[in-house]
A and B are shown apart, each in its own frame.
Chain A
């Protein structure tokens, strides 16, 4: 009899068990939607960048080959022609920032990581690490200000006044210095995580053989954590490539095929900001050119992030 009752539609409509199950289902589906949302963001990035970039390359005034190989970037020139749309000066500027800031941040970040992981006492580490991470939390526009108000004047005094080397007011070097300072904590933090994941037993084995701390750090810990450290380096460089405000403010706005870091240059990101400030109407050649540059930038950082993630994944498999 009970069985019959529960089968009647009246009872089942008010069946708290079914209402509860339905609610559980709806919640699970909603949460799944939130989880999948991040994939939609990636698809959105790809569609929005590439749809506009393709529109740019379909124009008669530009073509993909001269875009990738050309050495002149003059999008604002009165005569619009393929020769004026070669992206290499912007890439050169971006890579110059990446190389100089990397050669500052990678050794210093690695040194900080070794110190925090191997040398500092727990107490010292609990003070040093958060203070170092403050550097990563400072807005990039602040670093731009710092480059102009502090780094460039020092360069002028040291190089121009003492050694007679000409230093432009806007130059790649001072921008790269502040970008380097900015990415020290990123490199340090990820490398340190990798080093702390190295099992204690490896260190103790080396100490038992009479190794000094220097030898344990450089010959045991760093090699064992190498994949994590390399991954940290790649992420740091990728940040430097995508860095925008500091280089826009301090490195100048003159796209140039130069190797002199004391000249003004323009990076890909700085060009995008420049055009956005100029309020280029949508559909115009300038409005579309930023998407071609943006797509190039996105692909560069995307490839670097993928490489670093795959290196990190391999490293995790070893020690977990």
Chain B
């Protein structure tokens, strides 16, 4: 009698407990689904919002004209050219150093405090706000600490001929080769912008390249060493060719981050209104995101809403293509070991 009672109470308790817990499970499930879908919903709304605002304004004038006082004529030719050149230069600068650092850290670096410090430092650099890189670029590349300003101790010491005028600085030809023109400091040129961007993406390039190099199995290297060849020969002929698609993918993804960056180039001194195409890498420039920002800040809705959205559409298409190429490369050259 007593035992039966206990069991019946327990069953009731158990049933209540189980239904309560199942309810909690269901509610939790819905909450989780909402949190995933919120992000995706916002992504959809954002793309629709921009497409509605800008699709009618993506027209030939956008690519053929410079910014104009009449919105119907305004385009962003110089910004597109600027973005392409700056991105190519950024790739050119960051690729050798980034991949070199990745090779060093994966293949050469001994396990010691310096290596630990370099790793910590790279992770930290990845977390530095992009605007800070802009300030670094402004001081180091743009002004070069004022070393080449008129009457600085450096200029007086070496008797460097400083040009007068707005840009100023020291211009010369490296090894007297006519196309190797150098301007010091780099000022507000595309070289300065691309160097700033290179430093910004350097940690991402290093981290991505390291992953690609690490994915090459050690047995490949050991096979090379067994043939009696040197370390660099193993890396150069075995490791790098296998890791190359991965490195390239990481490089493209890093550059797609750089192409959307606005703040560092504004700080570094990129212009908002550039009514000409750059002739040399030492020219003034603007880029697509700065042109978009400039349009957003103008009062007329044609600029603020429509042209800005049209510019964003162009930028998003470029980003989409770059990511598509990166994914295609990764899939095409993926090796399963």
Contact = CB atoms under 8 A, between A and B. Distances in A.
Interface of A: 20, 23-24, 27-28, 30-39, 41-42, 44-45, 48-49, 51-52, 107-112, 114-116, 119, 128, 131-132, 134-135, 137-146, 148-150, 181, 184-185, 188, 212-215, 217-218, 235, 238-239, 241-245, 248-249, 269, 272-273, 276-277, 282-283, 290-291, 294, 297-298, 301-302, 304-306, 309
Contacts of B309: 145, 149
A16 to B, nearest CB: 11
Nearest to A275: B267
Task: Give me the 5 closest cross-chain CB pairs, A-B, nearest first.
Answer: A242-B129, A139-B260, A111-B35, A34-B100, A48-B139
Interface residues of B, number: 89
A245 B265 CA distance: 12
B238 interface: no
Nearest to A43: B121
A212 B35 contact: no
Given A42-B121, A214-B29, A269-B263, 7 more contacts: A35-B108, A38-B118, A44-B199, A45-B128, A112-B36, A137-B257, A140-B260
B68 interface: no
A302 B105 contact: no
Contacts of A290: 135, 267
B49 A31 contact: no
A244 B39 contact: no
Given A41-B125, A111-B31, A242 B131 contact: yes
Given A28-B108, A214-B24, A214-B25, A115 B32 contact: yes
A186 B131 CA distance: 19
A31 B129 contact: no
B78 interface: no
A115 to B, nearest CB: 4
B319 interface: yes
Interface stretch (B215-223, B277-285, B289-297): B289-297
Contacts of B167: none
Given A35-B104, A111-B34, A49 B132 contact: yes
B308 A145 contact: yes
A285 to B, nearest CB: 16
Interface of B: 21-22, 24-25, 28-29, 31-36, 38-40, 42-43, 45-46, 49-50, 53, 96-101, 103-105, 108-109, 117-118, 120-125, 127-136, 138-140, 143, 145-146, 199, 202-203, 206, 230-232, 256-257, 259-263, 266-267, 269, 272, 289, 292-293, 296-297, 304-305, 308-309, 312, 315-316, 319, 323
Given A34-B97, A276-B267, A135 B39 contact: yes
A42 B124 contact: yes
A144 B296 contact: yes
Contact of A244 (B46, B131, B202, B269): B131
A290 B43 CA distance: 33
Given A38-B101, A282-B143, A297 B131 contact: yes
A210 to B, nearest CB: 9
Contacts of B139: 48, 51-52
Given A139-B261, A212-B22, A35 B118 contact: yes
B35 A272 contact: no
Contacts of B103: 31, 34
A180 to B, nearest CB: 9
B39 A145 contact: no
A126 to B, nearest CB: 13
A288 to B, nearest CB: 11
Contacts of B292: 141-142, 145
Contacts of A306: 124
A35 B109 contact: yes
B250 to A, nearest CB: 14
Given A44-B140, A214-B21, A139 B132 contact: no
A140 B105 CA distance: 32
A38 B100 contact: no
